[in-house]
Structure 1
């Protein structure tokens, strides 16, 4: 096989991969800042905003594993180019979309592209770099993904202040185009014909099962939990996910290897990582409308005000690996979850008069807890597996993280929507205006401006802050329960836990070369 190990163009190719991963990184957070603006311009309810966020995550989670297998069988470069092309097309569609439904379709299409890009961007590195260069190359690519997280809100805020909301999609186009060109001209083609075939049925069961579950959760606040459609979707989700588990346990070479869950260390660390993403995704969904609609910041100001959480994450990335080595993964993960619980409970005490200083405080603590909980959990989960199972274990772990994020947005967003609607005082408003105001805090502000109702404006802010407090309290309780589970069931520290100090691919590597 022709090798490009000594070809100086490999560093240019790495630069293109960095651009691709940077785009995916800030696309993870850029939409959170854009949602209030999009809600106002498109008339999107809270449920529709949830779908704009979740359509991307659901497709990403469902297709990540089969995407890796497609690359193995049909060529990693070819599928990486296809992924970048699909991501570019989805971004163009999102920028040109004229209503909520097309934005949701565009986000789902972008999720297809992201599912192809994420595993394949790292899998091509061994073909370009020798053994000594690979760790640095992997760290650089992973750093790009991590750096995109804090950049997303800032870039999105700046774009929204100067252009229309479609610019948060359009910014992806040149980055994806650069990635495609570099893949065509600089990357070698590699494949593994011996890899398992893509299981179409398992992929379909994953996507439809997760989609049905999220649909039921999002629609429940509006329709009611006893609504036949909601109950039918919940039942369908249970059946589809159960069928997936049964199928994966019976096939000879499963796509989702459930036997990995028999490893206690892998199982409970994966649960911890999933619950951390559940809390964080829900928090990032409910916070921007508070900063933008209630506190009155513009989009760029909202993005900048999310940075204290990123500061906490960066601090944790410096100290969590050492803590895991010294005290063990169980103690570090449990402590991180306790810190996360404390931050969420602190945030739940936010009042209408608290101001941003108080928010910055608990956001910083949130980032610290997130870093201390997630990074050792990821490292320990993979360290608990035999070396030859690390690949499949990593795929399952990343899939579960995405599932946790999708359910977090759906469940906590629905809790917020129901609480806000119940708390909002629409006395004296016509029925149509009252229904519109109940859709979201942004919609309530628009109705208040049109009707000149200062009482509605005050009620909307108060109702949203109350709903956010309820969500954060639930997050705090979930994190505290997770901490107790981690302390009780994670394996005791062992010598091999030094591996837990290794950086988590898409977070910690950002600081390794900082």
Structure 2
């Protein structure tokens, strides 16, 4: 297949563009599938690997930190050497990480496997989105973004269900092994359906900037995860947080003074791009945090098995899919600013409603606010991502999309770290272990799953009740913080995001409309 330079006019007229979109859907399905399958497995892995809340956060965050750190250089590699080629490479790396995860038996090696998978995901995610402006006209791009987003969202409910079934019948490593056929489908689809596009004039990959990004994000996440255990005043936590700030500041200073920056700061000066990216990042922040705290609530507190937990996450995923499908027509009628703002308000309402959860609430109440949260997620993130993509020049699609997705993934990593740490602080503070020996008390404080195991071993029924109440208190605090953050972002978007007039149809669209009218 010949390599061509990105050209929106050429690809908009290509009748195979929808088949090419199918290849992107297959690639995104793999990432969406893997994102949620791990969250459902974390309580099981915590019990079998003796993983604390902090270690569970690292198993989730290792993937996202590497993902976010390498997304910008991955976009540039796609621009220079071919987006299709780099997509296939990324899927191959993801496959290698999945095989490693299926074979290991310790927390440290699971974290390493997740980091390798993050390297592969960093190539897949931005490049799958980067080709959309080259393949589709503005009038079709919202639909294409919605389809790609829906593919990632479709993988999300499948992950818990399939993962729960696997955990009920096989060992926890099977959640990694299931990626193998999924990746094989994605690679095959990209090889046969996706055209190659490049931009040889894009900047070269900056090794120093890449290292600063990885080190800065890693230090930041480490400080946030370790703070609940060591204390915010601990010298190591303070030193790591200070180092993170210094490294990230050095990255911004470097990128402002190089002739061809990898991190295009001029894009952040575009108010529309900045606020749309902020909205998408906030959604990722809340979604990642919720997907971390919910499975433990459903399994440990409500007592469902892994498969039952996956099924009970469907209301949120269903709401997200419905909203993603309907976002295009709603945006066309009311404009992106109104839809994004309303989506964030709906998300805030759902989170604040969820903060009324008690130990005795039951699943029916949870399903209600999860469904509303899914609708808010979908109506906020799809138009926000589409509007941000619309602000990017097509010739910088890979690196520009990489910037947007990097910021969004940083939001996800910080969401797991910050909201997970907030949960840990509240849980530890509210847990009553006064009558337990020091060793079992420390073990119970690691996580609600560990507390249930200690209670079963010692016959301490009161510990189960205390752990459940403490965990629900922590989850309620997380939901309340998420709701306030969503509401503040909704107000910022409504007040500051510029209104977007409908784009006039180009010559190709007008010709197509004329032909349709004649028929």
1:281 counterpart residue number: 288
CA distance in structure 1 between the aligned counterparts of 2:126 and 2:295, rounded to whole angstroms: 30
- Residue among 490, 495, 503 paired with 2:501: 495
Deviation at 1:124, TM superposition (A): 7.1
**TM-score (norm: length of structure 2):** 0.88
2:354 counterpart residue number: 347
Is residue 89 of structure 2 the alignment partner of residue 82 of structure 1? yes
Deviations 1:51-103 (A, max 9, x none): 11111011111111211222333444543343222211111111111111110
Task: Tell me, yes or no, if the aligned pair for 2:199 and 2:395 is still in contact at 8 Å.
Answer: no
1:377 counterpart residue number: 384
Task: Tell me, yes or no, if the aligned pair for 1:292 and 1:298 is still in contact at 8 Å.
Answer: yes
389-398 or 13-22, larger mean C-alpha shift: 13-22
Is residue 506 of structure 2 the alignment partner of residue 468 of structure 1? no
Compared with structure 1, are the counterparts of its residues 348 and 11 closer, same or farther at alpha carbon in structure 2 (3 Å cutoff)? closer
Task: Tell me, yes or no, if the aligned pair for 2:68 and 2:409 is still in contact at 8 Å.
Answer: yes
Please state whether the residue corresponding to 1:225 is helix, strand or coil.
coil
Compared with structure 1, are the counterparts of its residues 385 and 465 closer, same or farther at alpha carbon in structure 2 (3 Å cutoff)? same
CA distance in structure 1 between the aligned counterparts of 2:274 and 2:3, rounded to whole angstroms: 38
What is the aligned length? Answer: 496
1:156 counterpart residue number: 163
CA distance in structure 2 between the aligned counterparts of 1:390 and 1:264, rounded to whole angstroms: 18
CA distance in structure 1 between the aligned counterparts of 2:121 and 2:439, rounded to whole angstroms: 39
Task: Tell me, yes or no, if the aligned pair for 2:131 and 2:397 is still in contact at 8 Å.
Answer: no
**TM-score (norm: length of structure 1):** 0.88
CA distance in structure 2 between the aligned counterparts of 1:192 and 1:330, rounded to whole angstroms: 32
Deviation at 1:402, TM superposition (A): 0.5
- Residue among 439, 453, 476 paired with 1:446: 453
Gaps of 5+ in 1: 500-514
Deviations 1:329-377 (A, max 9, x none): 2222221111111111111110000000000000011011111222222
Deviation at 1:477, TM superposition (A): 1.1
RMSD: 3.0
Deviations 1:14-73 (A, max 9, x none): 766654432222111111111111111101111111111111011111111211222333
Deviations 1:159-210 (A, max 9, x none): 1111111110011123324545666688776654332211111111111111
CA distance in structure 1 between the aligned counterparts of 2:228 and 2:2, rounded to whole angstroms: 58
Deviation at 1:158, TM superposition (A): 1.1
Task: Tell me, yes or no, if the aligned pair for 1:153 and 1:303 is still in contact at 8 Å.
Answer: yes
2:240 counterpart residue number: 233
2:7 counterpart residue number: none
Deviations 1:223-269 (A, max 9, x none): 00000000001101110110111111111111111111111111112
Please state whether the residue corresponding to 2:411 is helix, strand or coil.
helix
Compared with structure 1, are the counterparts of its residues 130 and 358 closer, same or farther at alpha carbon in structure 2 (3 Å cutoff)? closer
Please state whether the residue corresponding to 1:495 is helix, strand or coil.
coil
Compared with structure 1, are the counterparts of its residues 378 and 184 closer, same or farther at alpha carbon in structure 2 (3 Å cutoff)? closer
65-74 or 393-402, larger mean C-alpha shift: 65-74
- Residue among 356, 365, 373 paired with 1:366: 373
Is residue 44 of structure 2 the alignment partner of residue 37 of structure 1? yes
Is residue 333 of structure 2 the alignment partner of residue 326 of structure 1? yes
Task: Tell me, yes or no, if the aligned pair for 2:79 and 2:398 is still in contact at 8 Å.
Answer: no
- Residue among 87, 109, 114 paired with 1:107: 114
79-88 or 424-433, larger mean C-alpha shift: 79-88
CA distance in structure 1 between the aligned counterparts of 2:186 and 2:261, rounded to whole angstroms: 32
Q: How does 1:105-254 map to 2 (within 5 A)?
A: 105-121=112-128, 143-180=150-187, 191-254=198-261
38-47 or 83-92, larger mean C-alpha shift: 83-92
CA distance in structure 2 between the aligned counterparts of 1:160 and 1:400, rounded to whole angstroms: 33
CA distance in structure 1 between the aligned counterparts of 2:91 and 2:61, rounded to whole angstroms: 20
Is residue 96 of structure 2 the alignment partner of residue 92 of structure 1? no
- Residue among 309, 313, 316 paired with 1:306: 313
368-377 or 228-237, larger mean C-alpha shift: 368-377
Is residue 364 of structure 2 the alignment partner of residue 357 of structure 1? yes
CA distance in structure 2 between the aligned counterparts of 1:184 and 1:275, rounded to whole angstroms: 34
Task: Tell me, yes or no, if the aligned pair for 1:290 and 1:465 is still in contact at 8 Å.
Answer: yes
Task: Tell me, yes or no, if the aligned pair for 1:328 and 1:497 is still in contact at 8 Å.
Answer: no
CA distance in structure 2 between the aligned counterparts of 1:338 and 1:394, rounded to whole angstroms: 26
Deviation at 1:138, TM superposition (A): 8.0
Is residue 272 of structure 2 the alignment partner of residue 265 of structure 1? yes
Compared with structure 1, are the counterparts of its residues 444 and 265 closer, same or farther at alpha carbon in structure 2 (3 Å cutoff)? same
